[in-house]
Each structure stands twice: as structure tokens, then as C-alpha cells.
């Protein structure tokens, strides 16, 4: 199955998008994330991707507002919620599940404290945990994409696979928010190399980008997160879902 995840990126409780993760390059798209969540559900989304940007940046005041919004979105019960941003401790992960999330994305902690991933897998199971493989030119970045590392995305992916991780979210940061196309070939290669089910993120600008990612489904590309293209009317969620459903229903 190939899943399309419409994104709700939260900053101080409102729906925004950043360019290449830069907090100074922000566009606000909606003040009420619950209205947006209802919209994506009404257009057919089975999953919604909710990110606490302030959690990633270490802004506790904003993160608290985003956590409150997450709980309300989950309480709607209209779609499964995959969430991430600032999941640095096992208590952060537990709180996200307590709020109603179906899956939690762990990024920075996978690098800085892999025991968080181990404990999360033990407590919640592999289907409920996703590791964030955020990278610039193939090298992992952490803490809201503000800190560089010398770890290759494929290297971290292999480590996580060995620990029992099944799902990964791969973002090529240089493409994020630019609407110039997803890193489809890189995503496919990462999935094939690591054996992870990899969700693509960053750069989707049109239905053609969705269709290109679908070509790599057989290698383990399991879905795509898209935000800006939806908010700016460059991509209709219904069209993306239809493309994914057509692929899922086609003969092997």
C-alpha cells in the first residue's frame, strides 16, 4: 500500500510551511489546524502528518500550543495521525501516543540517544514507530535540521533496521518547500539499501511527482508527505489519492 500523508506543520498552534526548514522563511496557511484536519479527511485522507516545529526548534511555549492542537486533531477521530517534532525522550513519545497519535516519528533521538528508539519499539511496536532520516546531500541533520552530522542517511537507516525499525521518513532538506520535485530516485535507493518502508518528504510540487515516487514503490517507498503543494493548489489531494489507489489495485 502507498499512503499519501497531507501535512499539518504547526508553529505556535497555527498551520505553516517553512522553506528548507528555515524558521525565517515561513508562510502561514491557516490559523485553525482542526479545520485543516477536517478538510483533509473530507478529501479522503486516511492518515494526516502533524509536525510540531517548535518542538524541533526547542521552543517550549510554541511546542505546548502545538501539543494541544495535536490532541484536538486526534480527538476528532477522522484519520490516523502520524506525528513528530521534538521527540527527544521516551516521555515525549509516550505523550504523543497518549494524545492519540497512531505513529510517532523519532528523528534527533535516533542519532543522539538510540535507546529512545529501542524503548519505543519495545513499548509500542514497530508499526507505531517511524525514524526520521532528515538529510542534506545525503548526510543526516538533527534538531530541526539546524545541526549537521557526519552520518549518512543510509548508515543510520541500516542501524535502525537492525534495531527492528520498519518505517522511515526520508526528507532531503534542500528540496523541502521548493515545489521542484521529490528526491524519488534517492528515496527508492534508500529503501532498497536499508530494507525499510520509506516515506518520501520534501519537494512535491505536482501530481507528476507523486507518480514518479510510485515507480519506486516496489523497492520499498511506502508513501509520501505533501504540504505546500496542497495548500497552494498545485496538487489536489483527491488526485494524489487516486493515483496511489490505482497503483495499489493494479495487478502485481
With 70 as the cut, is the pLDDT of residue 248 above it?
Answer: no
pLDDT tens-digit series, residues 87-129: 999 999 999 999 999 999 999 999 999 999 999 999 999 999 9
Whether residue 9 lies in the annotated active site: yes
User: Tell me, what's the pLDDT at 177?
Assistant: 64
Q: pTM score, two decimals?
A: 0.95
User: What pairs with residue 199 in β-bridges?
Assistant: 169, 223
Catalytic residue of the set 59, 134, 176, 209 = 134
CA distance 190 to 130: 15
Catalytic residue of the set 9, 54, 176, 209 = 9
Beta strand 147-152 pairing with 14-19 = unpaired
User: Tell me, what's the pLDDT at 145?
Assistant: 78
User: Tell me, what's the pLDDT at 3?
Assistant: 98
Taken in order of first residue, the domains within the chain and their CATH numbers are 3-249 (3.20.20.70)
User: Tell me, what's the pLDDT at 9?
Assistant: 97
pLDDT tens-digit series, residues 119-172: 999 999 999 999 999 998 889 999 877 889 999 999 999 999 999 999 999 998
- DSSP secondary structure, 44-102, as one string: T-SEEEEEEHHHHHT-HHHHHHHHHHHHHHHHH-SSEEEEESS--SHHHHHHHHHHT-S
Whether residue 134 lies in the annotated active site: yes
User: Tell me, what's the pLDDT at 52?
Assistant: 97
Amino acid at each position: 500500500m502507498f499512503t499519501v500523508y497531507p501535512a499539518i506543520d504547526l508553529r505556535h498552534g497555527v498551520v505553516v510551511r517553512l522553506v528548507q526548514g528555515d524558521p525565517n522563511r515561513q508562510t502561514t496557511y491557516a490559523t485553525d489546524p482542526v479545520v485543516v484536519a477536517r478538510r483533509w479527511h473530507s478529501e479522503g485522507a486516511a492518515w494526516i502528518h502533524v509536525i510540531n516545529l517548535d518542538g524541533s526548534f526547542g521552543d517550549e511555549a510554541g511546542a505546548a500550543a502545538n501539543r494541544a492542537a495535536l490532541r484536538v486533531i486526534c480527538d476528532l477521530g477522522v484519520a490516523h495521525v502520524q506525528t513528530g517534532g521534538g521527540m527527544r525522550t521516551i516521555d515525549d513519545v509516550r505523550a504523543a501516543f497518549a494524545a492519540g497519535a497512531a505513529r510517532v516519528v523519532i528523528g534527533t533521538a535516533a542519532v543522539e540517544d538510540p535507546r529512545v528508539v529501542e524503548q519505543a519499539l519495545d513499548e509500542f511496536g514497530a508499526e507505531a514507530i517511524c525514524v526520521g532520516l532528515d538529510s542534506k546531500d545525503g548526510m543526516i541533520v538533527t534538531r530541526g535540521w539546524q545541526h549537521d552530522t557526519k552520518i549518512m542517511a543510509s548508515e543510520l537507516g541500516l542501524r535502525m533496521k537492525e534495531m527492528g525499525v520498519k518505517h522511515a521518513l526520508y526528507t532531503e532538506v534542500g528540496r523541502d518547500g521548493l515545489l521542484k520535485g521529490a528526491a524519488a530516485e534517492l528515496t527508492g535507493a534508500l529503501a532498497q539499501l536499508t530494507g525499510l518502508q520509506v516515506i518520501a518528504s520534501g519537494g512535491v510540487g505536482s501530481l507528476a511527482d507523486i507518480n514518479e515516487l510510485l515507480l519506486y514503490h516496489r523497492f520499498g517507498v511506502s508513501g509520501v508527505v505533501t504540504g505546500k503543494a496542497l495548500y497552494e493548489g498545485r496538487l489536489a489531494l483527491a488526485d494524489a489519492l487516486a493515483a496511489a489507489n490505482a497503483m495499489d489495485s493494479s495487478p502485481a
